[in-house]
Amino acid sequence: MKKIIYIGNQLSQNGRTVTTIDSLSQLLRQEGFNVFTASKKNNKFLRLFDMLFHVINYRKQADYVLIDTYSTFNFYFAYFVSQLCRLLKLKYIPILHGGDLPNRLKQSPKLTKAIFKNALVNVAPSKYTQASFERFGFSNITCIPNSIKLKNYAFKKRTFDNIRLLWVRSFSKIYNPLLAIDVLHALKNKNMDAELCMAGPDSDGSLLEAKKYAYQLGLEVTFTGKLSKPEWIKLSEDYNIFINTTNIDNMPVSVIEAMALGLPVVSTNVGGLPFLIEQDKTGFLVEPHSVVSFVESIEGIIDSPSKTHKIMAEARDYVENLDWEVVKKQWINVLK
């Protein structure tokens, strides 16, 4: 049985969003891997210490160390953990989640080279990240997409008598939640029958800001807070359009889930999204920060239901390739 140390931000018990370390570690255990995870510590410095401690504590048992790697402050977690792995001669595999990692390659060339050049392999969840790393000369990289258990996502054919928008994400400035409220406001100003539900925990104070902003505009927006996966899947049955307003992204699982559920997705055309959504075939891509573009796409969905139904059927077909039963073969091949 292969043994793995998995390092990442395991903060869902502290009110944060479930991340890859929570889902992938459990899926790997189901495939027979023995997985030790860290860290659940809320304080960033205690979390880093706990991550390093786990690597040292389980070093003699571990075949591999998986490291969730992001582009902002948590990038330094990956740096210190990877360098400890090098010191202990452990095989480590960064998983490249950060949508802004390509910019990090430019900003921190020495640190990124120290992490990624010495990795056994770098795992990119999207072709966008893979292509970006290859442009910077990294050849030890493979693409293993984010996955879902497709059987948990029942496809529903939507009706479009009115506009029921759903936004699912952590409330963070990089995901631009205020844009969703602006879109609702613009639709209301056009006398369209529209509503908006925003589901997700706060990350940086943006949830309170969004509530205040909606109040200032005189809009009724439903804020659910953090939901479990089954809760938001159940909630999705009451909505007919999924909007993704982010400024930076890679391969968001929430968008994959929406496509699986039969929700037409209108997303900003940033990062890895064009590698996930094909315009007018599996979804709709718009320019970031553009209320007008969002409104036009939403109007197109409402005005052409038959075209939208065809697009959502195509989207469901596409995400069948992202089912865990398909994707797990790639992980097993890397960890064999």
Write out pLDDT tens, residues 192-250: 999 999 999 999 999 999 999 999 999 999 999 999 999 999 999 999 999 999 998 98
CA 7/CA 257 separation, integer angstroms: 25
Indicate the helix (H) or strand (E) that contains 192: none
On whether residue 231 sits in a domain, the answer given is yes
Domains in the chain, number: 2
Q: What confidence category does residue 123 fall into, taking pLDDT thresholds of 50, 70 and 90?
A: very high
Residue ending a domain, among 117, 144, 171, is 144
Q: Is residue 75 domain-shared with residue 184, that is, in the same domain? A: no
Estimate the crossing angle of helix 206-216 against helix 177-189, to 10 degrees: 20
Split at pLDDT 50, 70, 90, the class of 69 is very high
117 shares its domain with 220 = no
Domain for residue 329, yes or no? no
- Claim to verify: residue 159 and residue 37 sit in the same structural domain: no
pTM, full prediction: 0.93
In-domain check, residue 315: yes
Q: Which tokens sit at 42?
A: 């809320």
118 and 32 in one domain?
yes
Boundary residue ending a domain (121, 144, 167): 144
The amino acid present at 210, given as its one-letter code, is A
Query: Which pLDDT band, with edges at 50, 70 and 90, does 34 fall under?
Result: very high
Q: What is the pLDDT of residue 14?
A: 64
Same domain? For 172 and 303 the reply is yes
Q: pLDDT tens across 100-112, in order? A: 898 899 999 999 9
Residue-number span of the structural domain to which 40 is assigned: 3-144
Q: How confident is the model at residue 99 (pLDDT cuts 50, 70, 90)?
A: confident
Inter-residue contact 100 to 136 (CB < 8 Å):
no
Is 327 within a domain?
A: no
Task: Name the CA radius of gyration of the chain, rounded.
Answer: 20
**At 99, which CATH number?**
3.40.50.2000
Q: What is the DSSP string of 273-324?
A: HHHH--BTTTBEEE-TT-HHHHHHHHHHHHH-HHHHHHHHHHHHHHHGGGBH
**Do 83 and 214 sit in the same domain of this protein?**
no
Which of 95, 126, 144 represents a domain boundary (last residue)? 144
